[in-house]
Structure 1
Amino acid sequence: MILQRIRNQGIRLGTAFDRVAAKHPANVVILDHDLGIAPQLGRRFTVTELADVVADFASRLWTVGVRPGDHVVVYKTDGFDIPLIASAVARIGAVPVMLSPKLDGESVLQMLPRVNQPYLLTDQAKLDNELSDEVFDVADSVLLASGSHPRATALADLTDVRRVAPVVMPRDHPTLVTHTSGTTGLPKMAVHTSYSLQSRYRPQAAAVTLLRKRETVAMHVSFVHSRVISAVLISLARGFPLLVLTDDDPEHVADYFVRLRPGIIEAHPNSYMLWEKLADDPRQPLANVRLFSSTFDAIHPRTVHRLLRATRRTAPVFGQLYGQSETGPVVARSYTKLRSLEADGRCVGVPFPGMTGVRVVSRDGAPPTKESPGYIEVRSDGRAVTFLGEPERYAAQTNGSWWRMGDVGYRTKWGCLHLLDREVDEIPGFGSTLAAEDQLFARLDNLAEVIIIPGDDGRAVPVVSTKGDEPLDLAAWRAAAAGLPPMADPVQWRLDDLPHTATTKIKRLELARIINSGGPAK
């Protein structure tokens, strides 16, 4: 089997771009933005030039005193240079700690003490607009990827920097720290080793080996997520040209897709929801897509249905991966054009043979079912090894070799895992809020988002956003909600005003807190 031929020797993040450049030196990367640490390259460059940027930046970090084992917190303006910086930090044996540009400065200040006097790599924009002067007290040293500040060291100003050789660390040594989505509070900081990162890489790399033709890959994912590392390296290792987008506005995306005609697209579920309108673009920006890949969350059947029918490839596939920041992908499912609009979107797939395992633990002593779901637990070599500064929180989610996902569901007799709800989002007596949201999406074409949250009185409250922020048609809503458990009248918000995580998930608990405290609809 292909899955068994990819051995886990640990991913060497610091020299990863050297290896892909050695295989495909003239392969190209195209951006919709400038690289903050190398704006002189423009927006189209080769993988060889990319590898040189990483080596140069690593040498600059070494010059200012960063050494093996040091932690470097990366919190800067959004851009593709973020994973390049992570590779540069790892190249000299230090540990990159990746914080989302979407985090507010106060949250960053609360998280920094967990790292214990790290280097902070940021930029002038973040210092001017997000971070208070307190950051200079909690960080050992503040380094700038771009811009200037009187109390920080601008790496771009260094001259005559001597190139340093890569530092090789053991495969069980921390090589990357990423934070969790933060849907339930201040994010936790998951520690990954070279071994655990490679474990996440293997199943996805095996799947891509089935694609024989060279395809352009388009990507819009969070640059601080561990997923971006595997997605980028898998694409470049195959010699696939790479298009990286920071802006997911449909009109912006369509312009690039029409010009470059990607064959593979990687994005988060909420971005795909925005891109449904591309199916109606007369230029057919999705016509050449053979594979849509979506990570970590179940996606609404309506979105899959519309996107697959917008491609003109003979047998396009929508691949869905379910997992979380702590575990990497643990189950997968693929969809084709044969999938109906009313298909069960709660079936998120089956484990990777020989790599991941899933079980559902009963909550009432009876076998878990749709009516009485159990706790979802998973086993994976890709699991993070601890939470930085919070080992007790990590231990609370472990059960031997099993990891509690914080979700509830059940498995069918065929082994498919059905995800019904987050534990913290359950509404007693309502059933699956996610399944109800799937049904509403399938029946209301103008819905851009719907989130069902618990109200103060225990009733389910649907919070909706519409395409173009048009007023919700209440008659159509009532018809679509027919047959669902009773709900309060819908509350309409603008999509942009909903609280989002770095991976575009809705922060359901925060949304419920705002609405139940009397916060007005936006």
Structure 2
Amino acid sequence: MRPHDMGTLFDEVAARRTHTTVVLDRPFDIAPGRGTEFTVPQLAGLVEEAAGWLHAAGTRPGERVAVVKRNHYDYDLLACAAIRLGAVPALLSGELPGDVLETLLERLKPAVLVTDRPVPAHHARRVLSLATPVAGELALDDVRGTRAPAPRHRPDDDPLVINHTSGTTGTPKLVVHTTRTIIDRLARFEALRVPVVGTRRDDVVANASSYAHGRPFCWTGSVFCLAPRKIVLLSDPASAREVLGAHPPTTIEALPSAYVRWRPLARGADNPFRDVRLFVSTYDAVHPPVVRTMLHASRRRRPLWMQGWGQTETGPLTFRFLTRAAVDRATHARHLGRPLPSRAKLAVVDAETFRPVPRGRPGLVLARTKALCAGYVGEQDRWQDKNSDGWWNTGDLGVRTRSGAVLLLDREVDTVPGLSCLQTEDVLEDRLPEVVECVVLGTPGRPPVPVVVTADGHLDPQRWRSAVAGLPSLAPPRVVTWDDLPRTGTGKVRRRELLTRIAGHTGTHGTGRWT
């Protein structure tokens, strides 16, 4: 089976009488009394129930349903419920700051807003509260028991789902995908039983993601069709010790920030990653020490790390596989691999003239893919500006090697003349095992500022001086703990906000035009 209609996906999988068990780290926010284990038919029933709730709240075909809540996989169940009604779900992370959320809701103008946080009522026609409702809001108890209408099917090129970009450098964009772009051209491809990296029927598949984003929605379309023995869904990486300990995965996909937080767990006696044959990482580059730790935590003979690079707008563009031997030799995470065969093409061009540059020289990375999103809600002119003759401006600076691989340097907005922030972060993390994470920020007129995360917020000054030997000039480090950094829902550092805290402004060497 391969996915197509996300509104009836779980019904179609259930009809095949598969024996997949779904395990959660905590009950769904939309079904708090139903425990933490589900069958696929039970998930199908919950999606149909939720469609009834949304219909009772006033959702009609073609309208938008916004979801803003705590991170959990029921984001994707609500998305499927809205799609079943012919509506368009817009999934917004519950980690968004209030002013950013207001901006996005104003652009969306949803008919119904499903939320567990206080939101001004004027942003939606009706608010369905998952917490204690205030005057004028509906509670789940007000709409339970409403029978859902028959599923409605939409043309493949009509809007299907709206997800937002990470927002590390400002207000996120609202990305519109269609059935053709995100399901037919991405999820259906992933639903193939590819040797070695494909999901097997006896796999225990784990995922620790930010479920408001586009990647887990696409993943849903593929993994349930492949019907593994068990699917384990983590809403919080901190639950890995208990939940993955009880259900050791054989494949796992997680946010880069989750892998970072799991390093101590992977080294411990109760390591739950011992049976993993395939680690998958998307969203962002992962520094070599993290990959090294995870691969060596597996007791399999040849575990693999699969690194995907892409964007919310495009889906995956390149891939790279790492073995223990390869990552033990690696000194940076800039190598993103090669474009997906027959799926994506890349070009590197001069940032001002947009003419191709020779291989080995840095430039802006452009991508061509049939999976490109249909636009940005409320900012279509911005989407048009980044899309030229079918080539999408990723906003990343990189280099094409002679073999066709891509070496990522930095986001254009984060660039520092004569320095790759990403490469510098790699080197510092490799030389300082006690560093959990390093972020290098560039601002005109000053040396780049390294912000260093350690477990206790302290770092030996002599160790630092040894680590920066041979590197370009850097400002003294700002040493902080994990919770001191402003982060997005995917765990990425909000660089612009952090720069404002440190430098008092958001000025960078880059133009920021392509973010």
Give the TM-score, by structure 1 length. Answer: 0.91
Tell me the residue number matched to 2:214. 226
Q: CA deviation at 1:146?
A: 4.8
Query: In the alignment, which residue of structure 2 is the partner of 1:473?
Result: 460
Name 1:303's counterpart in structure 2.
290
Moved more, 201-210 or 482-491: 201-210
Indicate yes or no: 2:48 matched with 1:48. Answer: no
Q: State the 1:117 CA deviation.
A: 5.1
DSSP 3-state at the match of 1:39: coil
Deviates more, 1:173-182 or 1:71-80: 71-80
Find the residue that maps to 1:376 and give its secondary structure.
strand
Aligned counterpart, 1:367? 357
Q: Which of 342, 346, 353 is the aligned partner of 1:358?
A: 346
Match of 1:453 in 2: 441
The structural deviation recorded for 1:434 is 0.4
Distance 2:384 2:503 in 1: 32
Asked whether the equivalents of residues 60 and 155 of structure 1 are also in contact (C-alpha less than 8 Å), the reply is: yes
Instruction: Work out whether 1:19 is the aligned partner of 2:5.
Output: no
Task: For 1:112-261, list aligned pairs within 5 A.
Answer: 112-116=105-109, 118-123=111-116, 126-127=117-118, 131=119, 135-158=120-143, 160-198=145-183, 199-206=185-192, 210=196, 211=198, 212=200, 214-240=202-228, 241-249=230-238, 252-261=239-248
CA distance in structure 1 between the partners assigned to 2:195 and 2:154 by the alignment: 28
- State the match for 2:69 in structure 1: 76
**1:423 is aligned to 2:409:** no
Rate the CA distance shift 1:30–1:374 in 2: closer, same or farther, 3 A: same
Gaps of 5+ in 1: 1-5
Report whether the alignment pairs 1:393 with 2:382.
Answer: yes
Report the AA paired with residue 339 of structure 1.
A
| One-letter code aligned to 1:234 | S
Match of 1:381, as an amino acid? K
Cross-structure match for 1:3: none
Report the counterpart of residue 96 of structure 1 in structure 2: 89
Q: CA deviation at 1:29?
A: 0.8
Tell me by how many angstroms 1:282 deviates. 0.9
The CA deviation at 1:214 is 1.4
The answer to whether structure 1 residue 495 and structure 2 residue 482 are counterparts is: yes
> CA separation of 1:493/1:455 partners in 2, compared to 1, >3 Å: closer, same or farther?
farther
Aligned pairs, how many? 499
Question: Does the residue aligned with 2:27 lie in a helix, a strand or coil?
Answer: coil
Structure 1 residues 57-93: Cα deviation after superposition (integer angstroms, max 9, x where no partner): 1022223321110111111222221110011000010
Match of 2:22 in 1: 29
User: Which of 382, 385, 410 is 2:371 aligned to?
Assistant: 382
- Say if 1:190 and 1:386, in contact at 8 Å, map to a contact too: yes
AA at the equivalent of 1:375: L
Task: Please state whether the residue corresponding to 1:338 is helix, strand or coil.
Answer: helix
Supply the AA of the counterpart residue of 2:212. V
- Percent of pairs with identical residues: 37
Q: Could you tell me which residue of structure 1 aligns to residue 314 of structure 2?
A: 327
Aligned to 1:440: 428
Secondary structure of 1:348's partner?
Answer: strand
**Contact persistence 1:122–1:144 (CA under 8 A):** yes
Verify: 1:408 aligned to 2:397, yes or no: yes
Following superposition, the deviation at residue 160 of structure 1 comes to: 4.3
Q: Which AA in structure 2 matches 1:154?
A: A
SS in 2 for 1:319: strand
| Paired amino acid for 2:147 | R
Offset, 1:245: 0.9
Partner of 2:337: 349
Report how far residue 253 of structure 1 moved.
1.1
Deviation at 1:151, TM superposition (A): 1.1
Dislocated runs of 4+, deviation >6 Å: none
1:438 Cα offset (Å):
0.7
RMSD, aligned CA: 2.0
Q: Per the alignment, in what secondary structure is the counterpart of residue 324 of structure 2?
A: coil
Q: Contact conserved, 1:25 with 1:46, CA < 8 A, in 2?
A: no
Give the match's secondary structure for 2:487.
Answer: coil
Write the deviation string for residues 134-177 of structure 1: whole angstroms up to 9, x where unpaired. Answer: x2123222122454332112233235422321000011010100
How far residue 236 of structure 1 moved from its aligned partner, in angstroms, is 2.1
Query: 1:517 matched to which residue of 2?
Result: 504
Q: Hey, what's the Cα distance between the residues in 1 that align with 2:421 and 2:501?
A: 19
Alpha-carbon contact 1:347-1:417 (below 8 Å) kept: yes
Corresponding residue for residue 262 of structure 1: 249
- Kindly provide the amino acid, as one letter, of the partner of residue 28 in structure 1: T
- The answer as to whether partners of 1:75 and 1:101 remain within 8 angstroms in 2 is yes
Deviation at 1:481, TM superposition (A): 1.5
For 2:458 and 2:87, locate their aligned partners in 1 and report how far apart those are by CA, in whole Å.
Answer: 52
CA contact (8 A) 1:14 1:90 kept: yes
